[in-house]
Amino acid sequence: MTTTTSTRKLRRDYPCTVTLANQGTATFRLMADDDAERVLHFARQLPEDDLLFLRVDLTDPAVVEQWLARQAAGRSVALFAELGGAMAGYASLHLSETSWQRHVGEIRVQVGRIHRGVGLGRALATEVFAVARDLGLRKLVAQMTADQPSARATFQQLGFQPGALLRDFVIDRSDRTRDLVMMSYDLDGLTDRVD
């Protein structure tokens, strides 16, 4: 894997092993330059409902190449979870390119259907929190549609707070509009304040 400015700042070593409830262990590693086919295979195995809610279409090779290029440029960090050598899920951290939001990262987590319910998503989120701290970020945001109650519940369990509801802000693969929920998490325990 190519080492980027972002990944050079990480204080942890990858790959690493994480113990999961009822499924043994998972290996977490950084996304590598040659992972395009692995990502495509993973995304094409997701249920149609999951594909509706992906922020980008990871079944499209051009989109996956853009994601790899973002990581190579230091604009995102993606952690893959592997079980038995196969990709079981990922957590990604997307860094803001807006100067006044340089302290903010967007977290995205996706777990394959057969690996849900064993704590893999929570373990990935916990690990990406540590990555965000290593990179000096102060706030994480997560975005989901209002009709994803399990995603909202998962992020609330992690400490994220609802921040905004934007009506008809998302259009899905079927051209249906949906409301967008934005949630945030203060990594350093601070909320907005005037000093």
Domain coordinates in residue numbering, the chain: 5-141
Residue 73 pLDDT grade (very low, low, confident, very high; cuts 50, 70, 90) = very high
**Backbone angles phi and psi of 29, in degrees to 5:** -145, 160
Where is 169: in which H helix or E strand? strand 161-171
SS3 73: coil
CA distance 25 to 93: 23
SS3 182: strand
Model pLDDT, residue 23: 66
CA distance 137 to 186: 9
CA distance 172 to 161: 24
Q: Answer yes or no: is pLDDT of 160 > 50.
A: yes
Model pLDDT, residue 6: 62
Listed in order, strand segments (DSSP E) in 6-102 are 16-20, 24-30, 76-83, 86-95
Beta bridge partners of 105: 95, 140
Residue 7 pLDDT grade (very low, low, confident, very high; cuts 50, 70, 90) = low
Q: How many CA atoms lie within 13 A of 168 on its CB side?
A: 2
Q: Answer yes or no: is pLDDT of 86 > 70.
A: yes
User: C-alpha angle with apex 125: 124 to 129, nearest 5 degrees?
Assistant: 115
Look at the block and give the residue holding tokens 């051009």: 62
Listed in order, strand segments (DSSP E) in 21-138 are 24-30, 76-83, 86-95, 104-111
User: Model's pTM, two decimal places?
Assistant: 0.86
Q: Is the dihedral of CA 152, 49, 124, 141 positive or negative?
A: negative
Q: What is the CATH number of domain 5-141?
A: 3.40.630.30
